Structure 1
Amino acid sequence: MDLGLNEIQQMLKNSAREFLSQECPLTLVREMEEDSRGYTNELWRQIAGLGWTGIAFPEQYGGTGGSFLDLAVLLEEIGRSLTPGPFFSTVVLGGFTVLDAGTDVQKQYILPGICSGQLLMTLALTEVSATYEPWGIETTATREGDSFRISGQKLFVSDAHVADVILIAARTTQSDDPAQGITLFFVNSNTPGLTVTQLSTISSDRQCEIALDNVIVPADAVLGDVDGGWPIIQRALHRATAGKCVEMLGGADAVVEMTVEYAKQRTQFGRPVGTFQAVQHHCANMATDVEGCRQIAYHAAWKVSEGESAEREVSMAKAWVSSAYQRVCNLAHQCHGAIGFTKEHDLQLYTRRAKVQELSYGDVNFHKELAMQQIEA
């Protein structure tokens, strides 16, 4: 295992950072927090034109044949710049899930559109319980001849307000084992009976509520097998969690750079605050946490990219990175003082994102429990 980037990945990283620094400054991030869609068509067209949306998909679908680890390099830079848009939901939640479990017809229908940036997707999993465990899926899908009737509610669905196709997890069979009887369905966003409402969140990201009122979909809209959706969802969650860890790493790294630069420039008592030992210790602790995040996040991403069993590594990474990102932001605020809490300063943008990402795909305690189960096994 070599966690260092190869030459192509390093070039990708450098070019992505240069592009995002020019085309996605934090001023744009602020503007998009107030925008109803949350991103600009121009930025999305540029991202798709660079091949980012197809970087980890086979060439036969219009991709470039890269790996999940190549995608992770991009996700780190996206996290660093807080890039707005449906990239994560479309590529990681949607595209990879179809690539993993879709039929040839479904792949040909979905993946070329994702690679070209013409089709947006997301995955609707969580409900009122907000759990990522199978017992939380209460939305029902009833077979009626050659179709299914879906009814229920989904919460905290990323970018559902702009998605063209939504993967809906619903229960098709009641069972004593909650992991049994779950099925994934493709549902077009304009299907009658489907209503999407944006939620207000602390980070101003685009989380949505989906109401499904007797939504009818054909039988061929099933992804995978009927009643066999939970293993597909588990693999999707592992990818999403690993990807989110790398994204959080990018944000934490940006916070450290921002804080070190502030400590060099801000003067107090006649000298830069960075010359005070307490501030130096804070910066050193932040840098140590970020390096720990880098090692454990890329280890998990590498395991996922290699197609190996990664349950333990992914949960360990999420538990560590979630806590470390919080510590980095807390120490950054101590170094900045009151200015870091104001909306005019950029630090609060990362702090708010960090809080939401800490809870995404399972919080610290959830993943500690999963990691412990893997260790005991």
Structure 2
Amino acid sequence: MELTWGEDFAALTDVSKSVFARYSPLDDRSNTVPFAEQVRQFAELGWLQLADPSGTGDESASLGTIAAIFVEMGRALAQTPLLDLTVARDAAILAGSPTATALAARIGDGDAVVVPAFGTENWGSAVSVTGGSATGRVLGVEYADQAESLLVHAVADGESLLLLVDSAEVSVEAMPNIGGHPTFSVTLTDVAMTDQRTLARGSAADHAIDLASQRGDVLRAAQVHGAGMRLLDMTVRYAQQRHQFGGAIGRFQAVQYLCTDIAVNAHVTSAHTRAAATAIDTTGDGRPYVDLMRNQAILTAREMVHCAHEVHAGIGYMVESNVHLFTDAAKRWQFDFGDAADLNSSIVSAITEIYEGV
């Protein structure tokens, strides 16, 4: 498999660097861009409609190309709703119904702020439909306090439903966390179901949610890669500047090994991310490449901050240091990916599935 990013990756990288400089806390902790302005800027840049996950768009960018934006987003540690809006639009396009298609167009134009509330096994979320009403709770929903509507995965008599629920019909509660991520609990209580609200059901709903989630995981892994490369730069620079025992600490092999571990994991994450993006673009389904990528991204998120703290020692825990910002982000990424209890067994399973299909 040719492991290359998309054709316009470099061009998008240059633009993304300048955009996310405004959002990054690494150079200025006071950097804040209002939510509405973020959505407007992403829409004006065309970032909300770069790709058509259905594969029917004539000018649709590849997933590997779009990843350029998210690599730089991770490098800047920028907190934005771009990933959530992208996943919501992808799911709406894949749902395929007229209502869903119209919704996708509005998200792409920046006229509708919709975030996914799919829930995951890791969060233990569940929404069920009985008697024509939806009830349940979805945890870990980002920007639920700013969204106009939510795309909710619900189950009715064993059948999946993809529902569009107005934010005024749900209860939103903040979930405080050490990283300050805009994460919320969304509770549905007897929300009435209508045909207009149901964007897809059965296998169509499962396909839309699964593929949109796979694509979202690829873009999240791209963020991990970008963050790893930025953290590597910071750690190497510190090892060159910090002097102890008569010279820079970077001259010690133990420090060099730690920097090397960050570099290796970040680059391996890049390779897995490109492989998963290519599989999705060419076949419409990235499993099990996405599973391998997720496991590597978990490992990278964990190891890169561990190694960086080892090199920076006590100063890395100081509020003035940026290292702890990467730690906060890495912990969230680990949880988002599921942080498998047994990485080795899941990796072996994914590799076996790949080679059995060759």
TM-score for both structures, normalised by structure 1: 0.84
Among 121, 125, 135, the residue aligned to 1:151: 135
Alignment pair present for 1:103 and 2:97: yes
- Counterparts of 1:323 and 1:164, CA distance in 2: 35
**Secondary structure of 2:106's match?**
helix
- Counterparts of 2:142 and 2:28, CA distance in 1: 17
Alignment correspondent of 2:128: 140
CA contact (8 A) 2:99 2:196 kept: no
**Secondary structure of 2:201's match?**
coil
Alignment correspondent of 1:80: 75
1:370 CA drift (Å): 5.2
Change (3 A) 1:227 1:320: closer
- Counterparts of 2:220 and 2:50, CA distance in 1: 17
More deviation, 61-70/305-314:
61-70
Alignment pair present for 1:296 and 2:291: no
CA contact (8 A) 2:265 2:304 kept: yes
Kindly provide the amino acid, as one letter, of the partner of residue 41 in structure 1.
A
Change (3 A) 1:284 1:30: same
Q: Which runs of 5+ in 1 are unaligned?
A: 174-179
Alignment pair present for 1:130 and 2:130: no
CA contact (8 A) 1:199 1:207 kept: yes
Alignment length (residue pairs): 351
- Counterparts of 2:58 and 2:72, CA distance in 1: 20
- Counterparts of 1:116 and 1:171, CA distance in 2: 30
1:168 CA drift (Å): 1.2
1:186 CA drift (Å): 0.6
Alignment correspondent of 1:181: 159
Change (3 A) 1:140 1:25: closer
- Counterparts of 2:28 and 2:206, CA distance in 1: 35
Alignment correspondent of 2:225: 249
- Counterparts of 1:187 and 1:41, CA distance in 2: 20
Change (3 A) 1:367 1:137: farther
- Counterparts of 2:143 and 2:107, CA distance in 1: 15
1:166 CA drift (Å): 0.5
**Secondary structure of 2:196's match?**
helix
Deviations 1:56-90 (A, max 9, x none): 149xx999622222221111111111222211111
- Counterparts of 2:78 and 2:93, CA distance in 1: 24
**Secondary structure of 1:280's match?**
helix
Alignment correspondent of 2:152: 168
Identity %: 24
- Counterparts of 1:39 and 1:82, CA distance in 2: 17
Alignment pair present for 1:331 and 2:307: yes
1:322 CA drift (Å): 0.8
Deviations 1:34-66 (A, max 9, x none): x8xx854334433332222222149xx999622
- Counterparts of 1:62 and 1:116, CA distance in 2: 16
**CA RMSD of the aligned region, Å?**
2.7
Change (3 A) 1:45 1:270: farther
- Counterparts of 2:285 and 2:308, CA distance in 1: 36
CA contact (8 A) 2:148 2:167 kept: yes
Among 31, 43, 54, the residue aligned to 2:49: 54
CA contact (8 A) 1:157 1:207 kept: yes
**Secondary structure of 2:129's match?**
strand
Kindly provide the amino acid, as one letter, of the partner of residue 122 in structure 2.
A
- Counterparts of 1:7 and 1:67, CA distance in 2: 8
CA contact (8 A) 1:150 1:216 kept: yes
Q: Which runs of 5+ in 2 are unaligned?
A: none
Alignment correspondent of 1:307: 283
1:4 CA drift (Å): 2.5
- Counterparts of 1:366 and 1:30, CA distance in 2: 36
Kindly provide the amino acid, as one letter, of the partner of residue 164 in structure 1.
E
1:201 CA drift (Å): 1.6
CA contact (8 A) 2:298 2:337 kept: no
Kindly provide the amino acid, as one letter, of the partner of residue 162 in structure 2.
L
Among 106, 116, 119, the residue aligned to 2:109: 116
- Counterparts of 1:228 and 1:265, CA distance in 2: 56
- Counterparts of 1:76 and 1:63, CA distance in 2: 25
Change (3 A) 1:154 1:5: closer
Alignment correspondent of 2:323: 347
Kindly provide the amino acid, as one letter, of the partner of residue 18 in structure 2.
E
More deviation, 64-73/254-263:
64-73
CA contact (8 A) 1:97 1:236 kept: yes
CA contact (8 A) 1:237 1:361 kept: no
Kindly provide the amino acid, as one letter, of the partner of residue 166 in structure 2.
N
**Secondary structure of 1:26's match?**
coil
**Secondary structure of 1:157's match?**
strand
TM-score for both structures, normalised by structure 2: 0.88
- Counterparts of 1:183 and 1:218, CA distance in 2: 12
- Counterparts of 1:17 and 1:322, CA distance in 2: 24
CA contact (8 A) 1:29 1:84 kept: no
Alignment correspondent of 1:176: none
**Secondary structure of 1:311's match?**
coil
- Counterparts of 2:27 and 2:171, CA distance in 1: 29
- Counterparts of 2:204 and 2:318, CA distance in 1: 48
- Counterparts of 2:44 and 2:218, CA distance in 1: 25
- Counterparts of 2:219 and 2:317, CA distance in 1: 28
